[in-house]
């Protein structure tokens, strides 16, 4: 049995705002019969204030898909479209007191339907840009597609590197066989062989020949270059600490607590690694306090 929270059960057994809104002026459709689950969100938006007056959903899917749809309609009713666009899939999951890792995509579907509906209202065309694969790492909800793309983009060779870039495999480690299989496949395509004894990232020297100050300035400049992308999604990033090859950042705004924060961090990491020309790790600032605590405890 899935471990559903009471809130999820409640929204599944007694869904709010089920059915299509009459005289809706915005519709968002995501999913399809062929890919499995499908969600249609209909909204009645006040043209003057752009406030969502009514929201209704129709869902073909499992218990948590129905609960996520129901929660979404409750969250966005009364919001303006701009406010509603700030709702992340994590907000939907939080509203339901959490979803099992395998079911997080249900909340993603909710957020996408919302974006599609707003785009529809504004006469824009919404394009889904994410692709999900089979769940590999259950501890951190990382799927095969993300792992494979990250391995390709960063020429990774070891499970440890995959964990550093995606967090996959950094928990219980049961999925290491699956990660090795992906590494093996990608490396074979490149004409290389997976070596279980290879050491992660040791091939690159940590120093790039810059003084510490020059290096930090370079990092700031590199971060500045990607800020516009983050701000577009109502988020931001702040440099907190540089400790050797570990670079600690703080995610701000919509980026904070976003389910995609892991992917964003690995994107930033890739950008910084390329710009600095060395192997580095970008870690959330929460990691910094955790490490300090561990150091203090062991001292």
Interaction site with another protein (CB under 8 A)? 2, 9, 12-13, 15, 18-19, 28-40, 57-66, 101-105, 116, 119, 125-129, 132-135, 141, 143
Q: Which two tokens stand for residue 170?
A: 């950094």
CB of 162 to another protein, least distance (A): 17
The catalytically annotated residue of 106, 175, 255, 258 is 106
Annotated catalytic, 106? Answer: yes
Is the CB of 4 or the CB of 279 nearer to another protein?
4
d(CA 130, CA 139): 21
For the stretch 266-298, what's the b/e string if a residue is b when 16 or more beta carbons lie within 10 angstroms of its beta carbon?
bbbbbbbbebbebbbbbbbeebbeeeeeeeeee
Q: Which two tokens stand for residue 74?
A: 């409750």
CB of 285 to another protein, least distance (A): 28
d(CA 117, CA 115): 5
CB of 28 to another protein, least distance (A): 8
Annotated catalytic, 35? Answer: yes
CB of 65 to another protein, least distance (A): 7
Quote the longest CA-to-CA distance of the chain. Answer: 66
Q: Which two tokens stand for residue 27?
A: 């519709």
Place of tokens 């203090």: 296
CB of 159 to another protein, least distance (A): 18
Is the CB of 63 or the CB of 253 nearer to another protein?
63
3-state SS, residue 280: coil
Contact 41, 117 (CB under 8 A): yes
Is the CB of 9 or the CB of 234 nearer to another protein?
9
Q: Which two tokens stand for residue 38?
A: 């499908």
Is the CB of 40 or the CB of 176 nearer to another protein?
40
> In degrees, to the nearest 5, what angle opens at C-alpha 251 toward C-alphas 78 and 162?
120
DSSP codes joined into one string, 32-86: -TTTS-EEEEEEEE-TTT-BEEEEEEEEES-HHHHHHHHHHHHHHTT-BHHHHHT
Is the CB of 159 or the CB of 280 nearer to another protein?
159
- Annotated catalytic sites, by residue? 35, 106
């Amino acid at each position: 049995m899935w471990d559903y929270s009471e809130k999820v059960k409640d929204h599944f057994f007694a869904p709010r705002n089920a059915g299509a809104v009459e005289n809706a002026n915005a519709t968002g459709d995501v999913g399809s019969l062929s890919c499995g689950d499908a969600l249609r969100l209909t909204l009645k938006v006040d043209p003057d204030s752009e406030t969502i007056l009514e929201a209704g959903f129709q869902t073909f899917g499992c218990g948590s898909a129905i609960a996520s749809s129901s929660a979404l309609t409750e969250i966005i009713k009364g919001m303006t479209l701009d406010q509603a666009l700030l709702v992340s899939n994590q907000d939907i999951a939080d509203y339901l007191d959490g979803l099992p890792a395998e079911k997080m995509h249900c909340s993603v579907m909710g957020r996408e339907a919302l974006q599609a509906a707003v785009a529809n209202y504004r006469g824009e065309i919404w394009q889904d840009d994410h692709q999900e694969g089979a769940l590999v790492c259950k501890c951190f909800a990382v799927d095969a597609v993300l792992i494979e793309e990250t391995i390709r983009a960063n020429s990774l060779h070891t499970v440890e590197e995959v964990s550093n870039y995606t967090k996959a495999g950094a928990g219980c480690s049961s999925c290491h066989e699956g990660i090795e299989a992906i590494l093996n496949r990608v490396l074979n395509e490149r004409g290389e062989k997976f070596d279980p004894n290879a050491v992660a990232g040791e091939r690159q020297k940590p120093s790039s020949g810059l003084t510490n100050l020059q290096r930090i300035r370079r990092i700031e400049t590199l971060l500045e270059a990607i800020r516009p992308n983050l701000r577009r999604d109502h988020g931001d990033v702040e440099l907190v600490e540089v400790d050797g090859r570990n670079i600690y950042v703080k995610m701000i705004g919509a980026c904070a607590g976003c389910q995609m924060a892991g992917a964003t961090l690995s994107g930033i990491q890739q950008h910084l690694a390329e710009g600095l020309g060395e192997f580095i790790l970008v870690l959330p600032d929460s990691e910094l306090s955790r490490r300090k605590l561990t150091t203090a405890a062991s001292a």
